[in-house]
Structure formats: structure tokens, C-alpha cells
Amino acid sequence: MNHPNVLIGCPINEIKSYCMDDYFHALFNLSYPNKDFYFVDNSEDKYWHIKNVIMGYGVQVDYVSPTGKRNNQILCECQNMLRHKALTEGYDYLFMVECDLMVTPNIIEKLMAYGEQVAVARYFLGTNEGNTHLIGTEIEKNYGIGVKTNRNIGWLEDYLSYGTGETRGSSFGFGCALFSKEVLSLTPFFLHPDFKDHADTTASFYYHENGIKIAIDSEIMIHYNQNWRHISNY
């Protein structure tokens, strides 16, 4: 049986040290056979990934300096390094899975089976402070002002559609996302110059406007989330 080759990785940072052991345990238990690992560190300590990730888990890691950059700029730069490696080194897919998400062993096979250019699994956002919700937004057009906006899908709306294969959602983040080389080749990840959105939001608008369907798996990944208020460049 032919198994397309998959590059697995994400931006990483020393602030996620608390879940690295569980994260790599989950990655190394992935059942998909034809895969490689590659990560991009953006920690303040430029040697953190050498001491703790390369030596600790034996995977390939590059580095992006966070100095003088906003968080969305840092992550977009890291994501484009992942994209570049996937495209230039002959990978069929890039599987981005954030370093605080614990994926299930067969998630790559499940996402690949949809046959779409982008496929995602979902997870909860929030830190158990009354704002926890399943990730998912709908891209809407405000005809009165002629621009598109996005809104979080409400819990009741989400509950009624969950598991049906139908959703008004158009954006589900890059936390657990499988990208084909075809969709990666269309555009680099990018930011809007006038907003603080991250590249997963701008990419979702791009996919929506270009008719690229995002397949959504019904399995929910475990998210070891933390409060972002202490991140100074967010």
C-alpha cells in the first residue's frame, strides 16, 4: 500500500515545557508509517531547543528569534519554515499539530481519508475560566459595509450540527491540521497588515474566498491549554 510522505511539526517554545513529554509521547505513538518530524523554536533562550528537544527527543529543530516581533509575526515565520521544508523536500502533506495538543494515534489516517486539501480535528479553547469553547468560527459577509468578518460559532449551534458533517464553520485553526502540497503551493502563510490576526485566520479567509473546502473530523483532541495573558508580545 502506498503511503504519502508526511512532515509533522509546529512552532515550539520553552513556555510549553510543561507538556513536552506528553506531546512527544503522543507524536511518537502515531500509527501513520511514512512520516518525519521537524520543529521551529522561537524561545527567548536560543539554546533551549538544543538542550531540551534535539537532545531530549532526537528530532530536527530550527530556530527563529522572537526579538522585536509580535507573536503573530513569530508564529507566521515559523509556519512558513515548516511550509518551505514540506514543499522543497518532496513531502506530500504537512501535518501541523500544536505542542499542547495530544493527538490520537490514527489521526493522520483519518484526516487523509477525507481526500480534501485541508483537513482538521477540533479542540477546546479557553482555560476553564468560564470561556471554554470548541474552536470554530464562521466567515460572514457584512453586506452593509462590504467586508467579511468572522464570529465564533455558539455552543448550541455547534451542538446541533456536531457529528452531522454539516457546519457553518469556515475556520478551525492550525492546532491539528493536515495540508496537502497542492494547497501549500498556492500561497505562503501571511498576515493582514491592518489587524493582529494570526496566520490561521488569514489562511481561512483565503481558503474560503478560493473555494477550498476544509474537512472537519468529529474527534476532539485533548488540549493542554494555558492562560495567554502573561505573553507580553501577544
pLDDT by residue (tens digit) across 126-171? Answer: 655 556 656 556 555 554 444 455 555 555 556 556 665 555 555 5
Picking from 133, 234, 214, the residue whose alpha carbon sits closest to that of residue 174 is: 214
Q: Where does residue 141 rank: exposed (0-12), middle (13-18), buried (19+ CB within 10 A)? A: exposed
The pLDDT score that the predictor gives to residue 166 is 59
d(CA 157, CA 70): 34
CB 92 within 8 A of CB 179: no
Sorting pLDDT into bands at 50, 70 and 90, what band is 104? Answer: very high
Q: Give pLDDT tens digits for 180-212.
A: 999 999 999 999 887 777 888 888 888 888 989
The pLDDT score that the predictor gives to residue 234 is 45
Q: Give pLDDT tens digits for 8-19.
A: 999 999 999 999
Backbone angles phi and psi of 50, in degrees to 5: -70, -50
Sorting pLDDT into bands at 50, 70 and 90, what band is 225? Answer: confident
Q: Give pLDDT tens digits for 74-96.
A: 999 999 999 999 999 999 999 99
Q: What is the mean pLDDT of the chain?
A: 84
User: What pTM did the predictor assign?
Assistant: 0.85
CB 200 within 8 A of CB 120: no
CB 26 within 8 A of CB 102: yes
The pLDDT score that the predictor gives to residue 200 is 85
Backbone angles phi and psi of 163, in degrees to 5: 80, 0
The pLDDT score that the predictor gives to residue 193 is 80
- Give the Å distances, CA to CA, from 47 to 13, 23, 63, 118: 11, 20, 9, 33
d(CA 25, CA 201): 29
The pLDDT score that the predictor gives to residue 64 is 97
